[in-house]
Structure formats: structure tokens, C-alpha cells
Chains A and B, each alone.
Chain A
């Protein structure tokens, strides 16, 4: 198993550009989520999904869209990039929701810079 994979590893965007961060898992996990990590802020939840076709907002959803058309993939879309979205983005998955599953597996992260 490859676990949780994320592409790209690094990305530089100009303000106003759009892009999609890819996330895939091969463990048949139901629950997937996106976090952003900023210095001194910990991990903040952007969006999450409890299964294919179901998504919901986390703490900091503004400026981001997600979809979950398959169990394996959970892409994160930046609609119009802003410098405030400069961050490291982590995708994570677990077999069930956090209340049932005991492990979240994190991908290696995407380091995004918006100029």
C-alpha cells in the first residue's frame, strides 16, 4: 500500500490563480480530511468527508472547495489564491470517523506559496 499520497510537493502561485491539490489513499478509508499548518497555529481543519459524495466544512473553509467522487480521491481546490493561503497542506485519512477509528494517516504534505 502506498498509504496517503499528495501532489504536488511544492507549488508557487500568483495571487488570483487557481489550482487543485491532489490527495489519494489506497486503504479504502471512508474518512478523509484536509488540514493546513501555519507556524504557531497547529493543524486547522479545512474540509472533511465521511464517504464518497459527502463533504462538510471544517474550521477554515473559506477560499477552498472539495469534492469526493470516489472513495480514493479527495482533491482540494483553491479558487483564487491569496497570500494568506501560503501554508503547508496535509491530507489525512482514517478507516472511519475520528470517533470510531483510532488512527489518522497523514500524507507527506504540499508546501504552497502564494506571491
Chain B
């Protein structure tokens, strides 16, 4: 079945650093979504990417969908302590009616 893998699973950065996390699917996706979950909270929708090669920005966060629509990346610029949490990507494969989540990337920030 469809699998979505995220790397790395854990990321520890110094406040102010940039970093990138990746999401890879075993199958071609119709769209990919990103969510953020704060410690003790529930996942909150961040963004959806639909088109091949699409790039979307939200303040310091840049999301990209690969040309083959099998991978995606999230780049955070100048990390802040408010960015702490677990980031999930979730892929939708056409016709399945299911969203498949990766295992998440847990971000900690050293102030």
C-alpha cells in the first residue's frame, strides 16, 4: 500500500538556524498536505500542495512539491522557539479516499 516517509524523524536546531525536512511517497500523489502538532495538542493544517513543482510560502516556512509529485519539502528560515512541535506530511493518492500520514518530524529549538 501507499507509504509516506519523513526524514529526519528528529531535528534539534539552534534558534535562528535554517533547516529543511523531507517527505517521500512510494507512489505518485494527487496532493500533499502539511500539519503541525504542538506538544500535547492536535494536528493543525498548514498547507496543501497540488501542482507539480509547486512552491508556497507562509512567512518563514517554504513548502515545495516535487516535479514527479512523489516528494515534498518544508524549509524553515530563522527558526524560532514558537516553531517547536511535530510536523507531519500527509499524502493523498487519487481514488483512495484516504490521507496517509508520515510518522512526523519532531523539532526542538535551543534558545
Number of interface residues of A (CB under 8 A): 26
A contact residues around B42 at 8 Å (CB): 90, 106-109
Nearest Cβ on chain B to A67's Cβ, whole angstroms: 18
In this complex, what residue of B is CB-closest to A33? B99
Q: Mark out the residues of chain A between 33 and 91 whose CB falls within 8 Å of any chain B CB in the assembled complex.
A: 33, 35, 40-45, 48, 50, 56, 58-59, 90
For residue A98, CB closer than 8 A to chain B, the reply is yes
The answer to whether A45 touches B99 (Cβ under 8 A) is yes
Kindly identify which residue among A45, A99, A105 contacts B45, using a CB–CB cutoff of 8 Å. A105
A contact residues around B51 at 8 Å (CB): none
Question: How many inter-chain contacts with C-beta < 8 Å in the A-B complex?
Answer: 61
Chain B residues packing against A (C-beta within 8 Å): 1, 9, 30-31, 33, 35, 41-45, 48, 88, 90, 92, 94, 97-104
**What 8 A-B pairs have minimum CB-CB distances, sorted nearest first?**
A42-B103, A43-B101, A102-B48, A98-B99, A106-B42, A98-B92, A103-B45, A42-B101
> In the complex, what distance in Å separates the CA atom of A98 from the CA atom of B89?
13
B contact residues around A113 at 8 Å (CB): none
In this complex, what residue of B is CB-closest to A104? B45
9 CB < 8 A contacts A-B: A33-B99, A40-B9, A41-B103, A44-B101, A48-B98, A58-B98, A59-B1, A98-B33, A104-B35
> In the complex, what distance in Å separates the CA atom of A6 from the CA atom of B21?
31
Kindly identify which residue among B1, B44, B88, B97 contacts A98, using a CB–CB cutoff of 8 Å. B97
For residue A95, CB closer than 8 A to chain B, the reply is no
For residue A7, CB closer than 8 A to chain B, the reply is no
